[in-house]
Structure 1
Amino acid sequence: MFNPLDHKGIPLQEQIRSWRELNVEPVDPEAVDPYTRCRIITMNGIEVEAIMFSHQFARMCPDPQVKQLLAYTRYVESQQQRTVNWLLPGLASVLETTLGYEQVAVDLTAWVARHEPDPYLRQAYEFGVLEDFDHLYRYANLYEMVERRRAEKIVDALTEVMPGRPTALEHRHPFDEVRAPYDKDLVDPRSKLHALTILSAEQQVMMYYMNVGPQYMEPIARQLYQEISLIEQEHVTHYESLVDPGETMWERLITHEYNECWLYYSFMEQESDPRIKAIWELHLQMELAQLQQAADLLRQYDGREPEQIVGAAGVPEPLLFEPNKEFLRGLLATQMDLTKLGEGYVREAHERFEWMQEQLHAGGKPPSEEVIDMHREKFGDEYRIETEGPHPVESLRAREGARRA
């Protein structure tokens, strides 16, 4: 079992790198393993969250020496973020990167849901992944219309592309996005890492769509990014509310650094590209030293040991990017009609949900439905990648229709 707390890593004073070292060669968009792309996108989101958290911590911290330490590690994290994100090729279009983001959202969240030990938290991930699954389907149809290319060039056959919970039905009253948090003193340490990982990934998607949507000339593209970016904001609320608000900033600093160690270790173990694997290994060694500094700060200012926050057993099993088709099809067959009410989930539309739907959709058909209609009109059908038989819900409906006949 790998325990990051047992390793010193590269000394902090040796972690600043030159432009030559930061000037990494991007991956080849035509040859890259789709899951290598997913790992790059994931670690960019993790590093962005680390930087944003450090800035928030600094704004609340009165101690100038602590602020200096945060500023130093934040600069290193910024170099790591640039290295990771600059691995993405400039040749890739915004929509191609978007498809990669949604493949991350689907397979990352599905893996976390499968491995989450807490039933309440697991349900939160199962609920969210069906919406990201639908976003992938909507963007894949837009991609073929706008760029005349098919999404299998990006996601391969690793992730299916077909309808999830309809995007139009994902607009809920903001009150119902707020979940009950885990208890930081009782929850399994794995759950803290899962929550931070998915929150970071969804936050990245939200910010990306907020900024790239207006770059398109096509009205339907601009509208679809606008709609889905609003739902990604809902997802960030959904996931951030799972985190115990009673955690101190020192605890969260430990969790952030430990989570980065776990993910770089996981991706180093799985990476198929030797050049990218070397970057994961280098960044892991850097994060180990950053974790040691965070542990020292926790002891000094919070009077506790890091094992009290993240456990003494070492990191959980490596997080893997792998197909989740059977798991997702099971969710499609059983949870498509769920929505939220308060901190729970229900199958019937309720007053707040219907009010929100009326506010948004009263003026006509939403972009997420319009894009499918336009694709059917242009190509005669919608775009899908179904590798394991028909859509589960459609199969159930077909069997029910045959039984009634």
Structure 2
Amino acid sequence: MTFNPLQQRGIPLDRQVRNWRELAVTPIDPDHIDPYTRCRIITMNGIEVEAVMFSHHMARHCPDAEVKRQLAEVRYTEAQQQKAVNWLLPGVSSVLETTIAYEQVAVDLTAWVARMEPDPYLKQAYQFGVLEDFDHLYRYANLYEMIEHRKAEAIVDQLTEVMPGRPTKAHHRHPADNVRDPYDRSRTDPLSKLHALTIMSAEQQTMNFYMNVGPTYMEPIARELYQEIGLIEEEHVTHYESLVDPGETWWEQLVNHEYNECYLYHSFMEQESDPKVKAIWELHLNMELEHLRIACDLMRRHDGREPEEILAPELPNVLTFEPNKEYIRTLIAEQLDLTTLGAGYVREAHERFEAMQQRLNSDGGPPSERVIAQHQELFNREYRIESEGAHPVPELREQY
């Protein structure tokens, strides 16, 4: 069934503020939940954080006091939504368990978007990034067994493989080589705009998470690994945010944000297996329909355009969390040795890449390599989860 959020009525804004009892959501049970329910929660937390921060940035650039008041009213309910979503995560989960779930999100969300992306240049951007998040999952899984003596299998539940991707040490590039060419807002498929905003928001939340939780560990190797991967997440945010056309007006961006939230809440409501979580997705969708209506009115008044000029006439196919094992193995076989040069990709290390590698890795090697070495010392092996019968993964070329 098609769903056009522009033709739907949501909950009036003056009825959206929830009291403390309504905000006191019951967290998921990490031992009995579908891992993809946890992935959907983490994704929507990132989406809501982006919505709140974008609204703040827009308000800081807006001279119209009435518009600021409208943004503030919507933003407050967005902030309540973010609290309700993020508080679904259980307090019993450790930071590392949540970290592994964050990387499962990055792997399977980005892989699905890469599979569905209609623009070849944008598709390549997602294919490139997912091989790096895939390797981060592998590094954190080894750290998890070292520190907590537990296995990542209990978190990812065989839905996502845990094994090396593009080595994390090879992710450190000259900052200029992390900037991609943007899509053309006047010609790109509306689905491409949703993809770019979704992945940017998810990576941004991962970056924020690592920046804050990294120093909470006492173990030096854990502190150092979070520091290293946290810097790479900053590179990833640069990589993905540069895909968005900077010519989009504030009003256009606001409408895209609200439309994307409708798309994701609708998608997750359609596939959610947990009844209590599904009810939250449905509630938030009905709130976002009103937020979208308000954003569209603002665009008409201040931008002089109809939202139909930039939005899809109906929501695209449901964004789905599902295994992407063979797809990622194919990417590993074909693209493992890629790096970036300018706005494009090359297979050979170049001067700027080598200079950055030398500057960062010249004294003792990166934490991402040392965590594997220390794990092997402790257990006489590395930690992996590989599917039976899958085609083998090639060894990485020696340049890294």
SS, match of residue 173 in structure 2: coil
Q: Which residue of 2 aligns with 1:380?
A: 380
SS, match of residue 28 in structure 1: coil
Structure 1 residues 290-336: Cα deviation after superposition (integer angstroms, max 9, x where no partner): 00000100000001111111132x11100000000010000010000
1:250-399 equivalent positions in 2, closer than 5 A: 250-312=251-313, 314-389=314-389, 392-394=392-394
Residues in 2 aligned to 1:91 and 1:394: alpha-carbon distance in whole angstroms:
38
Structure 1 unmatched ranges of 5 or more? 398-405
Tell me whether 1:117 sits opposite 2:123 in the alignment. Answer: no
Q: Which residue of 2 aligns with 1:401?
A: none
Letter paired with 2:369: E
Residues in 2 aligned to 1:89 and 1:311: alpha-carbon distance in whole angstroms:
36
Residues in 2 aligned to 1:87 and 1:341: alpha-carbon distance in whole angstroms:
41
1:112-151 equivalent positions in 2, closer than 5 A: 112-151=113-152
Structure 1 residues 252-306: Cα deviation after superposition (integer angstroms, max 9, x where no partner): 0000000000000000000000110000000000000000000100000001111
Letter paired with 1:41: I
Residues in 2 aligned to 1:194 and 1:208: alpha-carbon distance in whole angstroms:
21
Letter paired with 2:324: N
Deviation at 1:394, TM superposition (A): 3.4
Deviation at 1:209, TM superposition (A): 0.3
Q: Which residue of 1 aligns with 2:14?
A: 13
Residues in 1 aligned to 2:214 and 2:279: alpha-carbon distance in whole angstroms:
34
Residues in 2 aligned to 1:123 and 1:252: alpha-carbon distance in whole angstroms:
24
1:161-310 equivalent positions in 2, closer than 5 A: 161-310=162-311
Letter paired with 2:214: G
Distance 1:301-1:139 versus aligned 2 partners, 3 A rule: same
Letter paired with 2:221: I
Letter paired with 1:376: Q
Structure 2 unmatched ranges of 5 or more? none
SS, match of residue 345 in structure 1: strand
Deviation at 1:364, TM superposition (A): 1.8
Asked if structure 2 preserves the Cα contact closer than 8 Å seen for 1:332 and 1:392, the reply is no
Runs of 4+ in 1 over 4 A off after TM superposition: none
Letter paired with 2:339: T
Tell me whether 1:156 sits opposite 2:167 in the alignment. Answer: no
Name the TM-score, length of structure 2 as normaliser: 0.98
Letter paired with 1:349: A
Asked if structure 1 preserves the Cα contact closer than 8 Å seen for 2:35 and 2:156, the reply is yes
Deviation at 1:389, TM superposition (A): 4.2
Residues in 2 aligned to 1:299 and 1:349: alpha-carbon distance in whole angstroms:
49
SS, match of residue 76 in structure 2: helix
SS, match of residue 345 in structure 2: strand
SS, match of residue 393 in structure 2: helix
Over the matched positions of the two proteins, sequence identity in percent amounts to: 72
Q: Which residue of 2 aligns with 1:66?
A: 67
SS, match of residue 289 in structure 1: helix
Deviation at 1:12, TM superposition (A): 0.8
Letter paired with 2:329: R
Name the TM-score, length of structure 1 as normaliser: 0.97
Letter paired with 2:328: L
Letter paired with 1:206: M
Deviation at 1:8, TM superposition (A): 1.2
Residues in 2 aligned to 1:245 and 1:396: alpha-carbon distance in whole angstroms:
36
Deviation at 1:392, TM superposition (A): 3.3
Residues in 1 aligned to 2:182 and 2:10: alpha-carbon distance in whole angstroms:
33
Residues in 2 aligned to 1:23 and 1:311: alpha-carbon distance in whole angstroms:
35
